[in-house]
Amino acid sequence: MIRLEKMKASEFQSYLKKAIKNYAGEHVKAGNWSEEEAIDKATKEYERLLPEGEETVNNHLFTIHDEEKEVGMIWLAQRTTEKGFIFDINIREGYQGRGYGKKAMKEIEIEAKKLGLKIVKLHVFGHNQIARGLYEKLGYVETDIVMEKKI
């Protein structure tokens, strides 16, 4: 049985370091950013989105727990009175592939309903087939597709 707990300041600092590195890496892998600029751009994006860290208004960052084990995190931002956006979900290595992501997504929908949200959106990089499959199984549908070809 998993539960979501509001992220503590110490957990946020640990999360932020990993998140910036992961976000930068995903943009490099997707061909959006060069390796040289990726960390700087990712850092600026997190500073813009979370200027007050885990206490940024309308942002709900949770640590995912299974009993006493910390297995990951999930971040829901309230964008309007009816719309939310999942900026990040991350299941720690060693816990992936065990259903924690699916359970956390269901729990975040409960949190979204408590906030009065009617729609939850998210972004997934095109190369992340595992995440795309999970979101589709949970009922998320593609609303925009951006494609490119290197020439």
What pLDDT digit, counting tens, does each position of 55-106 carry? 999 999 999 999 999 999 999 999 999 999 999 999 999 999 999 999 999 9
What distance in Å separates the CA atoms of residue 13 and residue 63, rounded to the nearest whole number? 12
* Euclidean distance between CA atoms 131 and 137, whole angstroms: 10
Claim: this prediction has a pTM higher than 0.85: yes
What percent of the chain is modeled with pLDDT above 70?
99
Of 103, 91, 145, 138, nearest to 123 by C-alpha is 145
**What is the reported pLDDT for 78?**
97
* Maximum separation of any 2 CA atoms in the chain, in Å: 51
pLDDT of 87 reads: 96
Give me the residue spans of the domains in the chain.
2-137
At the top level of CATH, which class does the domain 2-137 belong to?
alpha beta
Amino acid at 137: K
